Amino acid sequence: MAVNLQEVVETTLAALGYELVDLEIGQRGLMRLFIDRPGGITVEDCVSVSNHFTRLFMVEGIDYERLEVSSPGLDRVLKKPADFERFAGQMVKVKLRLPLPDKRKRLVGTLIGLEGDAVQIECDGERLALPLSQLDKVRLEPQF
């Protein structure tokens, strides 16, 4: 029976009190886990999660060469519907799969939230509804 890696990682992190922000499988066996929790992530959190998953992957027979665990950073990626609600009011940078009628593929604006299957953002004084299926990448745009 094949193990659903995403499901194992999400379930385990939730039990440890963390949220899986992103899981990347790179070349040459590199696996990256980006984790978060209210209050942020410390180096100790990353070490603890790394140690836990090293043991878990050995028991589950999950093959990888190198494991990296880190915080998602200030420009964290938004993927899940809950992300778009949680970070409403924040500035975001959006990269679209296909350009808008005005030829733009990259936008920066204020995240309003999620309505149905469309992310709502305010960009240049205009409210845009961007279908989830058309989003390539959405990241928080840190404001200093």
Q: What pTM does this model have? A: 0.80
**How far is 118 from 91, CA to CA, in rounded Å?**
17
Fold of 5-70: GMP Synthetase; Chain A, domain 3 (3.30.300)
The CA radius of gyration of the chain, in Å to the nearest whole number, is 17
* Sign of the alpha-carbon torsion through 24, 26, 29, 34: negative
Residue ranges per structural domain of the chain:
5-70, 81-140
pLDDT (0 to 100) of residue 144: 83
Average pLDDT, the chain: 92
One of 3.40.190.10, 2.30.30.100, 3.40.50.720, 3.40.50.620 is the CATH number of 81-140, namely: 2.30.30.100
pLDDT (0 to 100) of residue 3: 67
pLDDT of residue 1 exceeding 70? no
pLDDT of residue 2 exceeding 80? no
